[in-house]
Each structure stands twice: as C-alpha cells, then as structure tokens.
Structure 1
C-alpha cells in the first residue's frame, strides 16, 4: 500500500496540521515518516559529491560561531537522495543530548535512509532573537544540501519542549518554501489528576 502526503499550502492549514501532529504519540510520528518514504525524490546539489562525514561542524551566523552535530548514515550512497531530520533540543539541553538519544528514537528505525542534524541553541535554548536561529537553520540546510544527497521533499524537523517550539518556528518561518514536509513536536503532557 502506498500512502502519499501533500503538505498544506495555506499557512492557516499548516498551523492546524502542526498542532494536530503535536498531539500524536512518537510511534505515529515514526510511521508517518516511514509512509513518506515513497514520495518522488527532488535531489539537492550535493548528490554525486564526496560529501561530509559525521561529526561536529561550525558555521558563522551573524558574526557568531554556531555548532551542530551531523550524522551521516552508515553505507551512505551519494547517488541516492536521503531524508534529512533536524532534531532540536529542549531548554537546558544540547545537540549532544539529541545525538546521544538517537535523534528522539528516529535513528534506530531509519534503516540508513536518513541524515540527522542536531543544532546547538544559544544559551541552551531557542530564543530566536531577530530570527537568528532560523538563519542558523538556513545555514545548516545550505551546507548539508550543497554537500550531501538530500531529498528536498523529505526534510523534517522535530524537538522536545522548547525544541518542539523551534521546530514549529522553522515551519512557520518558511511556509512558502515547503521546506519542512512534516513537523513533529514532542511534548510531555501533564496528568490532570
């Protein structure tokens, strides 16, 4: 069975969609990512290039040195477009926490089809003053797209708590580019007992 997904084109619909996704359990999010694996590839300029290796990278954004962790799958094929997942950490967390946690459990189930990025927020958070964290995300995306084979229709963002809010900010800041096909916000719900 082939399931296809078309991202909403109207910003209001996208916001409702993002809120709906925020209520899904992580297992549904993983199934949603897997279901999208059959979409048509739209490859980036990095296809066919030697590419980047897994590790910590630095990028200058607005005069500041910013860091992110990149995980390229074992057996990476530079001729085949891969999914790209941004995993944003929670307030007080770090890129290393996300990487050590298997990118919110997505890495173990990706079966080598996904490149993972964990950006490091300033002051262990995502205040996004003047859009600086959106600009940081754009810089990471440009570097990854120019050096690795990514399917432009399969770029995803996820995060826990403040990281979930950052995922939502990225989706809302880039609605016309259809940059992020699927946003998953991971939030612990408090019991009302």
Structure 2
C-alpha cells in the first residue's frame, strides 16, 4: 500500500465510524497526578497529508514531549549499517488467517483484573521448545539494536530482539511483540524500549521483546535509520502475519517462553497490526501460537485487518486521544466494542476524558478476557501527555498484561 493510498483510507474510514452503546455499569478509573507541563504530545507535527503517524519520534527519552515529533517522512535511513544479524533460519510458517474454536472460559465475573506486579512469568502454561536449551542465536545478535534476518513467506525479513541480561533457560518468560507505526521501523521500537514497556519489565527480568520490521509498497523495508518513510503493515496477503509466525517460532525454539503469555502492542498502523494479530492469531485459535492480550494505541481496524474478522476472545486494551485528527477517536472505541462483544462484556460507551486520562473497564467479561479503554486529552501519539511528570500509559498496559 503506498502512502497516497493510505491517506485515502485514513480519510475515508476515520470519518465513517459512529457508535451506539447500550447502557450498563462499567468501572472507570481516572488518572491521578498533576498537569503535564513536560509531556504535551501536541508539539509533534502530524505528518503531511494526514498520514498515520507524524514522523519518526526519537522516543525513549524522559525529557517530555511527544514521541512522534518531526515531519512525517520518518528517518532518512542514513544511520549506520546493520553489523549484526546473520540469517539464523526460521521458516516462514503460517500466514493463513485460520479461525479456530472459541475459547471455552468460565462465565465472567466482570471487568478487568486488578493487574499484579511486574513479576516474572509463572511456571504454568505451555513451555516453548527453547526451555532448558542453549540458544543457537548468538548473543552478539540481540540486545544491541541490530536486526536479525529471517525468512517469512519466502522473503527475507528482519526483526530486533531484546532478552533479559540475566536470562535463565529454565525460567519461562513473557514475549511481547511491538509493531511500529507508519514511517517507523524496528530500530525505532528498540530505541523507544518497545513503547516503554521494557523500562518496566527490566526491573523484574520477566519479558523478552521483539520488534518486527514492516513493508513498503509490498517490499520488505530495509532502512538503517531511525524510521523509514512509507514503512508500514499492509497485510491483505497475510505476509506480516507470516512474519509474526516466523519470529515467534524462532524465539520459541531458542528461548524459554510461556506460550500462554504472548502479547502484542502497537501505535497507529502498528496498533492496527496488533488488532490484526489478535484477529489472526488468538491464543484459543487453531494456530501453533496465539496472543493472550493486545494493546492498541490510536489505531484503526481497517488498515491491517484485511478480510480478517475477529471471531475469538482476546484480552483487549485500547487507548485513544480525544483530539486525534489522523485516526478518529471513534475508530479506537469501535475496536474496543468489537472485542467487548467477543469477550462477553456488557458494553457501555467509554467515559471520554476531559482532564487526566480515564480508563473504562467493562463489566461482565468472560473470566480471563477483560477489555479496557483509556481515553486521554491529546492528539495522535503513542506517548500521551504525562501526569505528575510520569508516563501513565506504559504503566496501564503493563498492569493489563501482567494480570495474566
């Protein structure tokens, strides 16, 4: 999908969604803390022609401001060459969007769980083939921002891998997939610490992170800079689901993963790819792997979902800025409503923020399949205005993921 086509899609779909919710009780939690003098995300210029991102943010710093600032052309690819990452194999499995039987699950006790600490993965669940084994991926190929080459759907793709420094092959770890935005790339995700979740996870040495790299006009992106103009996730053919299949398979073969604790998150086009991952690879589906939960930041279903229609319950977190003029607020609400229905939740229109962020946790959800929607006053950004000088969104997402 070229950039002009994406702009047309963004314009047409973003203006189309109108939602009507039935009334019921739901639990709202409002963010605490003061105003956000450091964190106004409004300074990041949204891209030219209403693109899905508005530039290649530097991310990762604690100096405030939007993580998406700059022009929408992203990085120019002038960075250094990729020194690491010789191809280590990993077959390009999967790619088809198979359904699968609906997860059984008990009747819902309501709402999202209370979360839990950032502790390591439990010893329960299905363990991957890499448990108890020495990785064949050399240590020089990860934790340095250098891409690893991998074959997926008969094409050379790449991803970046981060593993806890004190990795123990007898301990099962969570796996988090971070999908970058339009005009972004895997290197940008590494620099932003995978939407800042790694900042939290590192304290408990609990999680392995991967950042796949996207496509541009049907060709794998190859840029070496911090972002790449036009790089995104057009996935009508399933090529990027096939990339996820190959990456997850390779990581599971080399490292100890709790296969019941695989997650995905992403912003904008990356948020749409997270939605596609939930649709195509739910944990209770028929594939060899599936996501337990996803987080979508200012996303829109139609960008990456293609013909995939969600049919399986997946724990679902979404957030959206009330002032988003790239992908309208209603698009984020619509995705949450879809999964609230699949997860057996009682739907109520989420509370719209007017000050600090407000998170709505829907009631009546099937046990283990909560849905949460967080509203914030702000534009199209993965880094909403800070409250009390702190980023709130990574904390909300980590609490959501770590309840499982």
TM-score range, shorter-chain basis?
A: 0.7 to 0.9
Listed as ranges, the matches of 1:13-162 within 5 Å are 31=115, 34=118, 37-38=121-122, 40-51=124-135, 52=137, 53=139, 54=142, 55-110=146-201, 111-123=204-216, 124-162=231-269
Match of 2:103 among 2, 6, 9: 9
**Are the counterparts in 1 of residues 169 and 255 from structure 2 also a CA contact under 8 Å?**
yes
Instruction: Note the aligned Cα RMSD (angstroms).
Output: 2.7
Shift, 1:35, TM fit = 8.2
Question: How far is 1:43 from its partner?
Answer: 0.9
Give the structure 2 partner of residue 191 of structure 1: 323
Greater shift in the superposed pair: 55-64 or 73-82: 55-64
CA separation of 1:36 and 1:190: change in aligned 2, threshold 3 A: farther
CA distance in structure 2 between the aligned counterparts of 1:35 and 1:77, rounded to whole angstroms: 15
Instruction: Please give the secondary structure, in 1, of the residue aligned with 2:279.
Output: helix
Question: Gaps (5+ residues) in structure 2?
Answer: 1-101, 105-110, 217-230, 299-319, 325-376, 378-404
Decide which structure has the larger Cα Rg and report it.
2
Q: Decide which of 168, 173, 179 is 2:290's aligned counterpart.
A: 179
Task: Tell me, yes or no, if the aligned pair for 1:121 and 1:133 is still in contact at 8 Å.
Answer: yes
TM norm structure 2: 0.39
- Secondary structure at 1:112 match in 2: coil
Deviations 1:157-193 (A, max 9, x none): 0001110110110110123147100100112414289
What number of residue pairs does the alignment pair up?
170
Instruction: Pick which of 56-65 and 66-75 moved more.
Output: 56-65
- Over 3 Å counting, the alpha-carbon distance change for 1:96 and 1:135 in structure 2 is same
Per the TM alignment, residue 34 of structure 1 is displaced from its structure 2 partner at its CA by 4.0
SS at match of 1:129: coil
More helix by share: 1
Cα separation, 1, equivalents of 2:265 and 2:123: 20
Distance 1:130 1:182, change over 3 A: same
Structure 1: stretches of 5+ with no match in the other structure: 1-7, 11-19, 22-27
Partners of 1:62 and 1:45 in 2: CA distance? 22
Cα offsets for 1:43-96 (capped at 9, x unmatched): 100011111331521111223210100001110001100000000000110011
TM-score w.r.t. the length of structure 1 is 0.78
Partners of 1:58 and 1:79 in 2: how far apart? Answer: 26
Which stretch shifts more, 52-61 or 110-119? 52-61
